[in-house]
Structure 1
Amino acid sequence: MKSRPSAFRALIFIILAASAWAGATVNTHAARRPVLTYTNRADAKLPEGENGFEWTFNAKGLVSSPCLSFDGLTLYVGSADRRLYAIDTLTGESKWTNGLKLPAPIYTAPIVDENGRIYVGGSDGRLYGISDQGDFGTNDLRSPSIGRPLTTPALVEDGTIYVGSTGNRLDAYFPDFARKWFYIAPDDVRTPVITDDGTILIASGGFLRGVSDAGTEVSSFIARSAIRTLPAVAEDGSIYFGANDDLLYAMESGATTNDLLWRFNTGDDVMSSPAIGADGSIYVASDNSRLYSLTPNGAIRWVVRTKAPVRAALSIGVDGTIYAGCDDKRLYAISPEGQILWTARTRAPVRSSPALDAFGIVYFSSGKTVYAIQTEAMADDSDEPAWPMFRKDAQHTARATECRPFLIEEPHRVGDTTGADTFDATIGEPLSIAVAVRAGAPVTYEWRLNGTVIDHEVNRTATNAVYVLASVEATDAGGYTVHAFNDCGEVESSQIFTVNITNAAPLITADITNQFLLVGRTLTLQIGAAGSSPLSYQWYFNSNLIAFATNTT
């Protein structure tokens, strides 16, 4: 289990001991982080009361499922009191005084992008984009209202934002919140899920629809009853979801009603979104107060009984521990082998899906309260294209990583933070040029100089994300671009990174060649050269200067 640096711990204790903000209750005893004991007893539970938690945070209204910032230092929750709260994960205190007041209640969970912007769907039908400063300033965004409450949004690599609504539609927005397109569904649209080929899956009434990134329908599956869960997508593309007909459905990507892999009867309605473990095990809870573990073929591995139905979406830690919020006012931690490791008692049914950070702390909400518990698990921070659980992963990022490559950073000099697209290099000095690409499958790189592919045999780094020149030569001057590709697609850098040589004497790189022509025909001669810019040219004939002949041709 990861642990936070000791210096952080000492500082954290000082801050907590001095804290007096009324919204947070923090355990500041000597054993400030009570680590749970794995007892393998069915009745194992945390100590009753607040001493079993890292901290608790109280809002003024019901709070949503939480999500974590990229650095894990901030937890965001929406609330029925019309506020978006940013909670310091170290102290449990609000980072924004009394939260950020919005025009409408927030019943759905927020998400955060790589730049720290928070996206949340309001019950007023607007999508909000808010900076991590929490002041809703001029740089913050809000979409036009569609008149019906929105779901939790989802993000893709190119910045597109997808969000469903109870207005029977799926909307796609550009990063500046201009509407890209919308798709009309047969019923309310639940939170979108994105597969590794970019298909957006939405549950709407009794349908599971697949929508392309252009807004056109590509698949449609009809269940026997209303689908109340979000689908979970495995690495092989298999899709699992539950419905009010007691069934868990398993199907291939793009399947229709007749293309099912299998169905499993849970014995009651399935209201909790299923989750998929790293070994391919499928976990699903039923309203009959049972949680099932199934093999990828639909066979039962084990069954755990709870004291009430589990309706919160399931989460899974990197060690395989399953976290389930239950209507008996408890959060359950269950081992991959089906043993209840511990339960944490709260004051209201636990309907939120827990989020985990890299330090093994579990965050969840119940009623108007957010709880933090130190555990021996942690979130899986790998960036895989699958969507195996509620909002993709245990950190609740809701960010899709598609198989095909996306350019994150244009070619740039390693070590430069200015974003410059030119560099004056010195002969004999080292130079490294890098590009950043994200993809859900291995990527091959192809660096080019002035449009010509650089031979891998000449420079072994010409197929890497970082192109290294151990000792710059005059012939290295010019414009660099990169082509990145894998089995799913390709991407080309749009920015040319130009390398100028500051101390290079002129060097002929392509000499003139002898030609034989008939009298009266046109003679064209061309020279290639490298060196410090600007280079000047002068042509001669029989050692005599040719007037105005000052170009490469």
Structure 2
Amino acid sequence: MGELRKLTMQIKNQMNFHKIVLALFVFCGAFLGCSTDEKEAPIVVIATPLVEFSYTPTEIRAGQEVSFNGRFLTGSSAITSWVWNFGDEAQSSAASQTAAFTFPNEGVYTVTLIASDKNDVSSTVTYDVTVLEPLADPFEASVVWAYSNETAVTNYNDGSSSPAIADDGTVYYLESFGGAESRLVAVTDHGTTATKKWDYSPGVNLRNAPTIGPDGSIYLGAWSVDGMRKINALTGAEVWFATTGSGISNSTAAIDAEGNIYVGTRAEGIFSWTAGGTERWKFKEVTGTGYYASPVLSADGSTLYALKTNGLLYAINTADGTAKWNEGMTLTADATGSSLSLDSDGTLYYTTAEEVVAVTDNGTGGTVKWSSAAEGANSSGVVIGLDGRLYVGSSTGLMALDPENGSVVWTYEAAMKESVPAVDAKGNVYFGTSDGRLLVVNQEGELLKQLNLTTNEVHSPVIADDGTVYVEGYNGSSITLFKVAVENGEGPVDSFWPMKGKNKRNTSFDL
């Protein structure tokens, strides 16, 4: 979302009140049956409507849907009616606190909001909205279906959650914060509709995205029932459970070409198992703190990189679980939600609550290549677009970074939380916002599409081979999976790390 503009209000009371926030009425004398020499009469304070509105995007093009949001201010009376007029030739209107409108042509439109209370006292806010000419090559995308299992949850999905897509088109998504009812849901996409194939519940919160192995099985860690699970893709039945002795938080499992699984825990280090559930090795140091970030595999699969919350970055031999090296990173802020990612030249990226850091593996250690300020980036992660450009979410919006030095190329302002971007074959970037939108911008940071999906967090999108996008959204009480069709879509960008987990399976490795 672009920066919400506080609009200059023109309060036009429809009754004979002064243009002030509070109307004061003094009742005395005959009205209250008191004499003039009695104590001072009571003062009754009556509030009037005080409102403002904002809209997104702030740079609008003809033919592009715009979201309008009315808000009452401190001291306002309770608003019972919201009426919009969008200033077009047809005098289009809406009667709700929030509204969406598409301006048909370029020009300047006077948008008006009239807010009234139960006493029929109203205030009017107006703002001139400039609409630019439409893009020469319009980007077309639309929601095909929305599916929810309707499990009650108390929070958005953690760990920048992302669906996983199997080769047969089955989509797996999480309902994380349902307590004992938390579930992994398998959805069959029928094209224009979706149905549930099965769901699986381990009885505890699920705080990491699912991963799909080479044989199509699904792997999932859990927060407090300590261990990793392998789940049958056809039935949803548990194939095996491997205990870890410690919960698995935001660490989504990485899987190599042989089907070996790698995951970090909160207190017991890093584990690796075979596809059959046999423990290959366990890596645990003397120092405390956990591995909340998802580990990543090198291009040849020989090295596993993992970041501890105390700042220790490890390179681990995948063959036997021994350390190649460890490097102490100076963490300036929390890194518990970080999603690690990797470039084709071996550069490793991690995020904290204050910055993005690029690290080079020099064989015997890790050398910081650069760091770039990025507030709130620990709830996102770095992805790679066309020409190597980097993208990462932050609390101020989507940031485009130069891979050579980490300098900020541009920022598209929006409220982001728990969303790793995804880049398509044309270089367009998809990302979720914390106010319910899926946004698509081009390489220059220009908005191509805004889809209003829900009311709260929209998580990390995943791009299928045909360009279809799947993403989870939270509405304050449940999680919904959305399918978005992209006209002339061509799948993810041909880069080393185009989206969370590297690919549609979330494996952090090309199987």
TM-score (norm 1): 0.58
Q: Is the 8 A contact 2:359 2:366 kept in 1?
A: no
Counterpart residue number, 2:282: 182
Aligned residue among 293, 310, 330 for 1:223: 330
Which string of whole-angstrom CA distances, capped at 9 and with x for unpartnered residues, describes residues 417-474 of structure 1?
Answer: xxxxxxxxxxxxxxxxxxxxx8xxxxxxxxxxxxxxxxxxxxxxxxxxxxxxxxxxxx
C-alpha change, 1:364 and 1:334, in structure 2 (3 Å) is same
Alpha-carbon separation, structure 1, partners of 2:165 and 2:316:
28
Three-state SS of the structure 1 residue aligned to 2:197 is coil
Q: Deviations over 1:193-212 (max 9, x none)?
A: 11114211112112322221
Is the Cα–Cα contact under 8 Å of residues 267 and 288 in structure 1 kept in the other structure? yes
Conserved 8 A contact 1:280-1:296? no
Aligned partner of 1:309 in structure 2 is 416
Structure 1 residue 164 and structure 2 residue 264: aligned? yes
Q: Which amino acid aligns with 1:74?
A: T
> 1:380, CA displacement in angstroms?
3.2
CA 1:238–1:339: 2 relative to 1, 3 Å: same
Instruction: Tell me if 1:391 matches 2:493.
Output: no
Deviation at 1:117, TM superposition (A): 1.0
- Distance in 1, matches of 2:485 and 2:308, equals 37
The 1:381/1:345 distance shift into structure 2, 3 A limit, reads closer
Range 226-235 or range 355-364, more displaced: 226-235
Are residue 111 (structure 1) and residue 201 (structure 2) matched? no
What secondary structure sits across from 1:344 in the alignment?
strand
In 2, Cα distance between equivalents of 1:223 and 1:43:
48
More relative contact order in 1 or in 2 (CA 8 Å, sep 6+)? 2
1:241 pairs with 2:350? yes
Larger radius of gyration: 1
Structure 2 regions of 5+ residues with no counterpart? 1-58, 68-99, 102-140
What aligned pairs does 1:433-512 form with structure 2 within 5 A after superposition?
none
Partner of 1:130: 231
- Which of 195, 201, 213 is matched with 2:298 structurally? 195
> Structure 2: how far apart are the matches of 1:397 and 1:269?
20
How is 1:15-414 mapped onto 2 (pairs within 5 angstroms)? Answer: 41=61, 44-45=64-65, 52-59=142-149, 60-62=151-153, 64-71=161-168, 73-80=169-176, 81-91=181-191, 92-97=193-198, 99-123=199-223, 124-136=225-237, 140-150=239-249, 151-184=251-284, 186-189=288-291, 190-197=293-300, 198-205=302-309, 206-213=311-318, 214-221=320-327, 222-225=329-332, 226-227=334-335, 228-244=337-353, 246-254=354-362, 259-266=367-374, 270-306=378-414, 308-367=415-474, 368-376=479-487, 377-380=489-492, 386-387=496-497, 389-393=499-503, 395-401=504-510
Amino acid aligned to 1:292:
A
Q: Which moved more, 1:76-85 or 1:313-322?
A: 76-85
Cα distance, 1:121–1:258 mapped onto 2, change above 3 Å: closer
CA distance in 2 between partners of 1:156 and 1:258 (Å): 22
Judging by fraction of residues, say which structure has more strand. Answer: 2
CA contact (8 A) 2:339 2:378 kept: no
- Secondary structure (helix, strand or coil) at the match of 1:96 reads strand
2: distance between equivalents of 1:286 and 1:42? 28
Change (3 A) 1:282 1:55: same
Structure 2: distance between partners of 1:203 and 1:399: 15
Tell me which moved more, 212-221 or 141-150. Answer: 141-150
Residue 43 of structure 1 and its aligned partner are, at CA, apart by 9.6
Question: Structure 1 residues 399 and 272, CA, compared in 2 at 3 Å: closer, same or farther?
Answer: closer
- Per-residue CA distance 1:234-289 (angstroms, 9 max, x = gap): 11111222222x22212212578982222222356543111111311111222233
Q: What TM-score, normalized to structure 2?
A: 0.63
Q: Secondary structure of 1:252's match?
A: strand
C-alpha distance 285-106 of structure 1, shift in aligned 2 (>3 A): closer
Deviation at 1:359, TM superposition (A): 2.4
1:14-42 residue CA offsets vs partner (Å, 9 max, x unmatched): xxxxxxxxxxxxxxxxxxxxxxxxx9849
8 A Cα contact 2:173 2:186, kept in partner = yes
Q: Which runs of 5+ in 1 are unaligned?
A: 1-38, 402-437, 439-553
C-alpha distance 136-309 of structure 1, shift in aligned 2 (>3 A): closer
- Relative to structure 1, the CA distance from residue 328 to residue 167 in structure 2 (aligned partners, 3 Å threshold; closer, same or farther) is same
| Residues 116, 267 of structure 1: alpha-carbon distance in 2 compared, 3 angstrom cutoff | closer
Letter in 2 for 1:143: A
Q: Matches of 2:66 and 2:258 in 1, distance apart?
A: 43
Residue 348 of structure 1: how far off its partner (Å): 3.7
Letter in 2 for 1:88: T
- What's the C-alpha RMSD, in Å, of the aligned pairs? 3.0
The letter of the residue matching 1:179 is E
The CA distance in 1 between the partners of 2:63 and 2:416, in whole Å, is 17
Q: Which amino acid is 1:241 matched to?
A: Y
Q: For 1:169 and 1:142, how far apart are their aligned partners in 2?
A: 18
Q: Quick check: 81-90 or 255-264, which moved more? A: 255-264
Deviation at residue 327 of structure 1 after TM alignment: 1.3
> Distance in 2 between the 1:313 and 1:337 partners?
19
Instruction: Give deviations 1:341-390, integer Å, cap 9, x for gaps.
Output: 112223243352111112221110012111111114343387x8x44542
1:18 is matched with none
Identity %: 21
C-alpha distance 256-276 of structure 1, shift in aligned 2 (>3 A): farther
Give SS of 2:380's match.
coil
Q: 2-side partners of 1:370 and 1:230: how far apart?
A: 21
Structure 2 CA distance for aligned equivalents of residues 201 and 177 of structure 1: 22
